[in-house]
């Protein structure tokens, strides 16, 4: 069975396991999603949602962020970690939105990645959720599972994205990445993957490794 066939089988199983899967960041506008996704770097969606509940009440427009006092903004997002860089990028991102995009979140990958703090992962989240443009979103879970399942050996997120795009139909890129995230959180965890109860194990390279029947790497 080749990679495309295995990906199709896994996608079918994960669709049945996680029928209501979706982006787990809370947002109401494209701007909110753009900024929340940036805050989620090196943090959790749960923590970001706690922070943005107050943040989005305090800063309502792109002008609010662009004109924000940087030290005050740092305090407002402190709990997400790396708050110095994140605050700087959020402010600079909104300034660029005003100067280059009339205050609107752009709808292309090429435009989005010109914004400070925005890489391909954030751009793909915005494109998929707001503009319904398929893209494979590579967070830590999606990257880990893509490698374990034998679809790629790449560590670089952009390289993982490109390889996954080759084994999946374009229409499935966004939702398959969401399903990998859900499966990574629930079953295929980083330290102790639950292969013994995993329904996709028959199509997973890592799960089929006979030398590690419990899917815990042997110490060397």
Active-site amino acid positions: 121, 139
Q: Which of 144, 61, 140 is nearest to 104 (CA)?
A: 61
Q: Which of 156, 211, 118 is nearest to 164 (CA)?
A: 156
- Give the tokens for residue 170: 């374009």
Question: How does DSSP classify residue 217?
Answer: P
Per the CB < 8 A criterion, the answer to whether 100 and 115 are in contact is: no
- Give the tokens for residue 103: 């205050």
Q: Which of 29, 30, 27, 34 is nearest to 115 (CA)?
A: 34
Question: How does DSSP classify residue 153?
Answer: -
Q: How distant is the alpha carbon of residue 35 from its chain centre?
A: 13
Per the CB < 8 A criterion, the answer to whether 26 and 52 are in contact is: yes
Per the CB < 8 A criterion, the answer to whether 38 and 93 are in contact is: yes
Q: Which of 94, 96, 102, 180 is nearest to 136 (CA)?
A: 180
Q: CA dist 73 to 46, 50, 89, Å?
A: 20, 15, 11
């Amino acid at each position: 069975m080749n990679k495309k066939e295995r990906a199709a089988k896994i996608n079918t199983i994960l669709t049945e396991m996680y029928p209501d899967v979706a982006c787990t960041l809370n947002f109401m506008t494209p701007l909110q999603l753009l900024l929340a996704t940036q805050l989620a770097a090196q943090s959790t969606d749960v923590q970001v949602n706690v922070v943005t509940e107050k943040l989005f009440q305090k800063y309502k427009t792109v002008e609010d962020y662009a004109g924000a006092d940087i030290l005050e903004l740092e305090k407002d997002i402190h709990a997400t970690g790396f708050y110095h860089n994140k605050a700087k990028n959020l402010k600079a991102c909104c300034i660029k939105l005003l100067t280059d995009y009339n205050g609107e979140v752009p709808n292309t990958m090429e435009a989005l990645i010109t914004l400070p703090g925005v890489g391909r992962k954030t751009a793909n989240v915005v494109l998929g959720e707001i503009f319904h443009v398929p893209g494979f979103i590579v967070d830590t879970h999606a990257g880990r599972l893509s490698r374990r399942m034998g679809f790629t050996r790449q560590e670089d997120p952009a390289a993982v994205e490109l390889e996954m795009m080759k084994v999946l139909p374009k229409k499935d890129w966004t939702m398959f990445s969401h399903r990998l995230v859900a499966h990574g959180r629930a079953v295929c965890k980083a330290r102790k993957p639950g292969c013994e109860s995993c329904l996709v194990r028959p199509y997973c390279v890592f799960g089929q490794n006979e030398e590690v029947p419990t899917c815990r790497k042997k110490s060397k």
